Amino acid sequence: MLLLRTPGVYRPQTDTHLLTGALRAAGVPRGARVLELGTGTGAVAMAAAREGCRVVAVDVSAQAVLTARLNALVRGLPVRVLRGDLFAPVAGQRFDVIVANPPYVAGAVDPASVRGRARAWEAGPTGRALLDRICAEAPHHLTATGTLLLVHSALNGVAATLVSLREAGMRASVVARRREPLGPVMRGRADRLRAQGLLPPGQSYEELVVIRADRVQDAAGAGEDPASENTGGEQRGTCAA
């Protein structure tokens, strides 16, 4: 799918395609309310709109908001695109599904100070500046049986994401994986990542993962150990509207 892309907006890559595939596999019903965080070109948001979902997309970048709006307009897809920081533009709203492909590359730069294309990858010292915020805030913006689909690199710590979501009362597991060679940004920081213990010596690839987290009733989640890591088996099913 060819997408318009204004200067400063990162083009969709493997993580985008992995997240889109996980969204389709989730069996989201028509009419479900879907929120995409960090929409960029709007690729994932438009995939949801094609399935008949009611979609809101958010990005902090004015260029990304313009790009996503143009791409949706050209395709005649009803995607509402808002500018703002994560959940700020949708305060008080709840969604059946939240999808997110946040910045996750570890670096020395404060993500809040970044402009341009680097906004798509700069994520603080451990690469979790945005990931941790999403894990903490997403449950408050989901319906009672809502679902979060979140993609990031395994170098950021899969267990940390799973534990955070489970402690927030969600049932979480990895539903998709793909191994990819390190991209240009990661390659340029390989020595620093190894020094931090984030990248094993000699490793020249990263594994991308999509984590699915479902809100569950208290009774359904009783007895589960939020600290136990289950990164295997894929979940399938529909997200309740």
Mean pLDDT of 29-48: 96
The pLDDT score that the predictor gives to residue 224 is 39
Backbone CA torsion sign across 192, 119, 6, 74: positive
> Would the pLDDT of 93 be above 60?
yes
For residue 47, report the phi and psi dihedrals to the nearest 5 degrees: -60, -40
pLDDT band at 1, cuts 50/70/90?
low
3-class SS at 19?
A: helix
Q: Is the pLDDT of residue 183 over 60?
A: yes
Q: Name which residue leads in pLDDT, 10 or 63.
A: 63
Mean local confidence (pLDDT), 9-27: 94
What is the residue type of 113? Answer: S
Residues facing residue 174 across a β-bridge: 211
CA 37/CA 142 separation, integer angstroms = 13
In a domain, 151, yes or no: yes
- Residue 85 DSSP label: S
Indicate whether 235 belongs to any domain: no
Give me the mean pLDDT over the 88-101 stretch: 97
**C-alpha to C-alpha distance for 136 and 113, rounded to whole angstroms:** 22
Number of domains the chain contains: 1
- Residue 90 confidence (pLDDT) above 50: yes
pLDDT score recorded for residue 117: 84
**What pLDDT does residue 152 have?**
97
Give the mean model confidence (pLDDT) for residues 58-82.
Answer: 96
- Smallest Cα–Cα separation from 48: which of 65, 27, 64? 27
pLDDT, mean of residues 24-44? 96
Name the β-bridge partners of 36. Answer: 57, 99
Question: What pLDDT is recorded for position 217?
Answer: 67
Mean pLDDT of the chain: 88
3-class secondary-structure state, position 204: coil
Buried b (16+ CB within 10 A) or exposed e, 2-34: ebebeebbbebeebbbbbbebbebbebeeebbb
pLDDT at 105 (0 to 100):
93
233 domain residue, yes or no: no
CATH number, residue 122:
3.40.50.150
Residues in the chain: 241
pLDDT higher than threshold 90 for residue 144: yes
Q: Identify whether 7 is part of a domain.
A: no
Whole-number Å distance between alpha carbons of 210 and 171: 14
The pLDDT of residue 227 is above 80: no
Between CA 155 and CA 14 the distance in angstroms is 16
Residues of the chain above pLDDT 70, percent = 89
Within a domain: 232:
no
Judge whether 84 lies within some domain: yes
Q: Which of 79, 22, 70 is nearest to 49 (CA)?
A: 79
Amino acid identity for residue 2 in this structure? L
pLDDT digits (tens, 9 = 90+) for 111-126: 888 888 888 899 999 9
pLDDT of 27 over the 60 cut: yes
pLDDT at 116: 82
Question: Sign of the C-alpha dihedral, residues 138, 221, 212, 166?
Answer: positive
Residue 221 lies in a domain: no
State residue 231's pLDDT score: 36
- The answer to whether residue 158 scores a pLDDT higher than 60 is yes
User: Mean pLDDT across the stretch 32-50?
Assistant: 97
> Is 71 domain-assigned?
yes
Report CA-CA distances (Å) from 192 to 105, 109, 126, 189. Answer: 11, 13, 11, 5
Beta carbons within 8 Å of 158's beta carbon, 6+ residues apart? 174, 209, 211, 229, 231
The residue range of the domain holding 83 is 14-215
